[in-house]
């Protein structure tokens, strides 16, 4: 038993070293088992229709709670954080805003490649272990697993908060059939602070740790494919893709340090765009600015819709 535990701890230490080499900010381990505590919460959230038109969140309910249904034989969930914070901002303060995580290349590809590398190194050393990697692209409750692995706690805005860097992290997971020592969850350090809840212009944070996705600016500007609802006119705070308001007001993000990932650097021409440049945006310019970008998710038509929605409010004023 002692020998087995020693091997597991040695492997965990090696994974920590490898993940640091690949640029990850933190890594933690959880025993793979059904997230019983999340089941009622998820069920209630869906029942209250907090997911809006994101129908995919209703599918694969059991898989979201049980990682062994995603990879039979899974023993450990490895959770990792990858920093994307930047203090760089768009030059024109009047220009429609893009969430800073989308300034550079699509994180799905950047982070997933690194996770695949980490799994490859594990296999090179320990044989043909079963494993799968995930980055915001599968039915897995990433924040719940990251919190379980001791990488932080869930803030009132529903995001993972880490004492050393706030919330500006992409989350990734590797499911493996290895037994690795589980880390201890962190305690909540939000206290009585409600800055994120108070600052949300659409009232999307309905209670601590519960976000009505169908009211979130990120939902409207990215997920919603239909026309934007007129009652929301003037409440987007000039966001045309995503929203960072709840993160900007969070005291824990004072500890965030700029990332060192070249792929996440913003194109100078994107930062230099004025409000008028965005109003005049043509599809060829969109394609040049957002090749390999998360903004491709909404596409030219969706971004054009968002800009026009903001411009109508500007004209009304």
Measured at the CA of 180, the angle between CA 115 and CA 16, to 5 degrees, comes to: 45
Dihedral (CA of 317, 301, 51, 147) sign:
negative
Q: Does pTM surpass 0.85? A: yes
Backbone angles phi, psi at 89, to 5 degrees: -135, 160
Beta strands (DSSP E) in the chain are 26-31, 76-83, 97-98, 131-134, 153-154, 160-161, 169-176, 205-207, 210-211, 239-241
Contacts of 143 (CB under 8 A, 6+ apart): 154, 158, 159, 160, 171
Reply yes or no on whether the pLDDT at 2 is more than 80.
no
Percent of the chain with pLDDT over 70: 98
- Which one-letter DSSP state was computed for residue 182? P
Contact indicator for 208, 141 with CB cutoff of 8 Å:
no
Q: What is the pLDDT of residue 138?
A: 87
Give per-residue pLDDT as tens, 31-44.
Answer: 999 999 999 999 99
Reply yes or no on whether the pLDDT at 316 is more than 80.
no
Q: pLDDT band at residue 3, thresholds of 50, 70 and 90? A: confident
- Judge whether 136 counts as a catalytic residue: yes
Q: What is the mean pLDDT of the chain?
A: 95
Give per-residue pLDDT as tens, 187-238.
Answer: 999 999 999 999 999 999 999 999 999 999 999 999 999 999 999 999 999 9
Q: One of 13, 49, 66, 136 is an active-site residue; which one?
A: 136
Contact indicator for 145, 160 with CB cutoff of 8 Å:
no
Distance CA 135, CA 300 (A): 24
Distance CA 8, CA 282 (A): 55
Give per-residue pLDDT as tens, 8-26.
Answer: 999 999 999 999 999 999 9
For residues 123-142, give the mean pLDDT: 95
């Amino acid at each position: 038993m002692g020998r087995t535990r020693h091997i597991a701890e040695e492997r965990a230490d090696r994974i920590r070293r490898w993940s640091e080499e690949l640029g990850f900010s933190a890594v933690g381990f959880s025993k793979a088992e059904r997230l019983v505590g999340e089941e009622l919460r998820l069920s209630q959230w869906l029942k209250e229709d907090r997911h809006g038109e994101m129908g995919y969140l209703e599918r694969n309910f059991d898989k979201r709670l049980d990682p062994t249904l995603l990879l039979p034989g899974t023993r450990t969930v490895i959770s990792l954080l990858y920093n994307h914070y930047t203090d760089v901002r768009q030059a024109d303060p009047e220009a429609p805003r893009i969430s800073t995580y989308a300034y550079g290349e699509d994180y799905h590809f950047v982070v997933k490649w690194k996770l695949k590398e980490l799994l490859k190194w594990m296999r090179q050393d320990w044989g043909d272990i079963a494993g799968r990697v995930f980055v915001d692209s599968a039915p897995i409750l990433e924040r719940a697993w990251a919190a379980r692995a001791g990488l932080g706690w869930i803030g009132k805005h529903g995001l993972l908060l880490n004492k050393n860097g706030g919330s500006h992290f992409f989350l990734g997971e590797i499911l493996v059939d290895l037994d690795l020592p589980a880390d201890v969850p962190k305690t909540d350090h939000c206290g009585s602070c409600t800055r994120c809840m108070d600052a949300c212009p659409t009232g999307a944070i309905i209670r601590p740790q519960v976000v009505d996705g169908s009211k979130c600016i990120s939902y409207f500007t990215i997920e919603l494919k239909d026309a934007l609802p007129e009652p929301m006119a003037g409440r987007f705070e000039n966001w045309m893709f995503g929203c960072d308001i709840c993160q900007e007001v969070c005291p824990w993000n004072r500890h965030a340090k700029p990332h060192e990932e070249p792929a996440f650097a913003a194109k100078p021409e994107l930062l230099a765009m004025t409000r008028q440049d965005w109003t005049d945006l043509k599809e060829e310019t969109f394609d040049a600015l957002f090749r390999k970008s998360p903004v491709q998710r909404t596409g030219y038509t969706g971004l054009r819709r968002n800009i026009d929605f903001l411009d109508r409010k500007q004209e009304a004023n």
